[in-house]
């Protein structure tokens, strides 16, 4: 593996997601195991549980001051645009469904088989699998912004409140952009669940989480893994993707970005986070696939930079070897130039071009759930608990 030029030391390039620490033996071992189709636990640097709740990454990159992309961004993520022509379509085309766990709270968290996905809007998903319930990039605020009076605003509100959630065992954070990491949501979840809730976060985010009062925080580098105490059989692996990080004018890429591979004894789930298309997904598929379900972004791709469009989302679905996928990162915040109903329409077109069906890669209404791989009357089936977008 080629060593970085002197001026590049202390950086990481997400176009080459296997370049963790150029020139080290540990990185060479990481690169060697990328081609493995098996999942031997020794191929991933495991973060053992400790009596300490919060742990910083043991990666040699943990002392670095910033991370770097191959493609530098000319401007911020997608800009907000006003769309007055289609507002009347919202309630008809993007209804908000009251989640099953609000309608029937007694049935929440009692999944015996399979994996259940509930879309809470944008990149927020509640996942139930292998006796665990966890959230991805939860945001319950009305704006994806550091202030409440300005910034990208929701045009579809959250389908439930933090107080209405069932017991949550863990939260995974993909990166620190405001539409994926929300201060008030972190405070609310921490207030409700306290130290029983384990936070899995990217390298560089531990101090920020602790400043919010969160104590049970695990910070990981790419390819590192950990688990929820008492659930050692389910492994959370922080995996690469192509993106960037920023929350202030002064912290460009001070925090790593990534995706998450959650590996259980009966089910495997992949969360792509927010990403552009890159070779990392094929590597993840070879190393940890097939996945029973993947949550992949399909929207907020105009203007394009570090984001995938629906066709690239289908390619990620194939690369990670997902049996089924759910479209996320669309239809919630005013973040992009495309019409809010365009992503699912383009997804249907892409699926047809690739010879796949809408059952292979579904789109849910806000608050709706889908149960995959459950046993019904002795047969392995998928079951929609609420409703899919037509």
What are the binding residues? 175, 177-180, 243, 274, 307, 329
Contacts of 230 (CB under 8 A, 6+ apart): none
CB atoms within 10 A of CB 36: 12
Strand partners, 383: 371
Can you list the pairs that 140-145 forms with residues at least 24 positions away whose Cβ atoms lie under 8 Å?
140/182, 140/184, 140/185, 140/188, 141/182, 141/184, 141/185, 144/177, 144/178, 144/179, 144/182, 144/333, 144/335, 145/178
Phi-psi label, residue 151: left if phi above 0, alpha if psi -120 to 50, beta otherwise:
left
Dmax (CA) of the chain: 63
SS (H, E, C) 3-24: CCCHHHCCCCCCCCCCCCCCCC
User: For the chain, how big is the Rg over CA atoms in Å?
Assistant: 20
Binding-site residue ranges for Zn(2+): 175, 177, 179-180, 243, 274, 329
């Amino acid at each position: 593996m080629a060593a970085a030029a002197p001026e590049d030391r202390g950086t990481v390039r997400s176009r080459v997601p296997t370049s963790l620490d150029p020139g080290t033996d540990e990185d060479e071992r990481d690169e060697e195991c990328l081609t493995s189709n098996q999942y031997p636990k020794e191929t991933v640097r495991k973060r053992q549980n400790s009596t300490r709740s919060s742990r910083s990454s043991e990666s040699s990159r943990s002392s670095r001051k910033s991370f770097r992309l191959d493609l530098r961004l000319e401007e911020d993520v997608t800009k907000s645009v006003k769309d007055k022509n289609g507002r009347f379509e919202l309630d008809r085309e993007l209804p908000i469904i009251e989640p099953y766990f609000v309608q029937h709270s007694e049935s929440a968290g009692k999944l015996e088989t399979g994996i259940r996905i509930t879309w809470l809007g944008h990149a927020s998903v509640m996942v139930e699998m292998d006796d665990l319930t966890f959230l991805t990039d939860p945001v319950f605020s009305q704006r994806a912004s550091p202030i409440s009076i300005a910034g990208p605003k929701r045009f579809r509100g959250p389908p439930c409140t933090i107080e209405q959630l069932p017991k949550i065992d863990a939260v995974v954070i993909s990166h620190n952009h405001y539409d994926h990491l929300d201060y008030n949501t972190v405070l609310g979840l921490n207030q409700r669940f306290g130290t029983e809730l384990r936070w899995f976060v990217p390298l560089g985010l531990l101090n920020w989480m602790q400043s919010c009062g969160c104590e049970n925080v695990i910070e990981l580098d790419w390819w590192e893994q950990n688990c929820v105490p008492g659930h050692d059989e389910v492994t959370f692996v922080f995996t690469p993707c192509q993106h960037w990080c920023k929350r202030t004018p002064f912290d460009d890429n001070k925090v790593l970005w990534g995706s998450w591979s959650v590996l259980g004894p009966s089910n495997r789930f992949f969360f792509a986070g927010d990403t552009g298309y890159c070779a990392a997904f094929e590597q993840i598929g070879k190393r940890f696939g097939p996945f029973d379900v993947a949550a992949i972004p399909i929207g907020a791709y105009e203007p394009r930079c570090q984001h995938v469009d629906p066709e690239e989302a289908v390619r990620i679905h194939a690369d990670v070897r997902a049996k089924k996928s759910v479209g996320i990162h669309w239809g919630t915040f005013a973040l992009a130039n495309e019409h809010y109903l365009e992503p699912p329409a383009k997804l249907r077109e892409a699926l047809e071009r690739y010879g796949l069906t809408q059952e292979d890669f579904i789109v849910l209404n806000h608050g709706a759930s889908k149960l995959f791989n459950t046993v019904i009357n002795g047969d392995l089936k998928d079951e929609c608990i609420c409703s899919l977008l037509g």
